[in-house]
Amino acid sequence: MRMKKTFVLFFSLFLSFNVALAGRKVALITGSVSGIGLGIAMEMAKGGYGIVLNGFGDVDSAVTQVSTFGTRVTYINADLKDPRQIASMFQAIVSTFGRLDVLVNNAGIQYVSPIEKMPIEKWNDIIAVNLTAPFIAIQHALPIFREGGHGRIINIASTHGLVASVDKLAYVAAKHGVIGLTKVVALETAQTNITCNAICPGWVLTPLVEKQISDRAEQKGATIEDEKSALVSEKHPSQQFVTVEQIGQAVLFLCSPAADQMRGASLVIDGGWTAQ
């Protein structure tokens, strides 16, 4: 009898846990296997969201890290340069979770080159991942949000969506485009419970930035630490890097009721870069 009661209790707890998970809001974060995207996924998991990871890298490690917060985590492998794979990703989310509440367009790639030497294939790839993919993802997310009566779209732009730097033509053009995309989507959803905003981080110590630091150090014959200090001091009056946790917390804020009337905004987190 005791064993039977124990089993019933265990089964009830198991059922309650899964019902609770099923009722949680769900967030898709693109490019979330490492860097800023993983940081956002971690903060949102702490906040109780079910998480859909996407991107390339050490997937097992990313899933393990996010799962430590007791939320449901799914990884979907989709090449964001392929519109068909983006469509399949959204179909899989609806099949797995039955809902989607937040879309964070974070995935991005970079290539540094003067305009005369910029390979057209690099330009096309950067525009495809950094600008076209968010547009297509929003197209697929909006019907789901409209059906659910609520949604949050957060585009991770960059200070390079507001200002420019030499040798970053395609990246700057794409990020400026993301700011424009954000504003138009915000206007088209202005009378709904769907919001669209952007976050513009300055320098964040991600694998993408660390590679730039390494390349600069090699070109100048300097140490990694010297170039790291030089890079952040060059742009940030604070002389400190932005952290992935800070960006994740900003995403949570934009998902909160406090941000219900933030529509088409660009939330800048850049150590003072664009204040100069």
141-145, 206-210, 258-262: least confidently modelled range: 206-210
6 has a pLDDT exceeding 60 = no
Torsion (CA) 244, 153, 108, 271 in degrees, nearest 10: -40
Rounded to two decimals, what is the model's pTM?
0.90
Identify residue 83 by its one-letter amino acid code. P
- For residue 243, what are the CA distances in angstroms to 104, 139, 240, 269, 270? 17, 30, 9, 10, 10
Cα distance between residue 105 and residue 80, in whole Å: 11
Give the total residue count for the chain: 276
Comparing CA positions, the residue from 38, 43, 44, 50 lying closest to residue 99 is 50
Higher pLDDT: 13 or 232? It is 232
Which token pair is 114? 């003067």
pLDDT in tens, 112-165: 999 999 999 999 999 999 999 999 999 999 999 999 999 999 999 999 999 999
Position 184 confidence tier, pLDDT thresholds 50, 70, 90:
very high
* Whole-number pLDDT of residue 63: 98
Mean pLDDT of 15-21: 40
> What is the phi/psi pair of residue 58, to 5°?
-85, 85
Specify whether 111 is catalytic. Answer: no
20 has a pLDDT exceeding 80 = no
103 has a pLDDT exceeding 60 = yes
Position 19 confidence tier, pLDDT thresholds 50, 70, 90:
very low
Which token pair is 241? 């890097």
Which token pair is 233? 């001091």
* Whole-number pLDDT of residue 157: 98
Which token pair is 129? 């991942």
Structural domains present in the chain: 24-202+242-270 (3.40.50.720), 203-241 (no CATH)
* Whole-number pLDDT of residue 161: 98
Cα distance between residue 20 and residue 12, in whole Å: 12
Identify residue 236 by its one-letter amino acid code. H
11 has a pLDDT exceeding 90 = no
- Angle, CA of 14, 19 and 23, to the nearest 5°: 150
Catalytic residue among 49, 75, 111, 171: 171
- For residue 275, what are the CA distances in angstroms to 50, 80, 268? 36, 33, 10
48-57, 174-183, 202-211: least confidently modelled range: 202-211
The percentage of the chain sitting over the pLDDT mark of 70, rounded to a whole number, equals 92
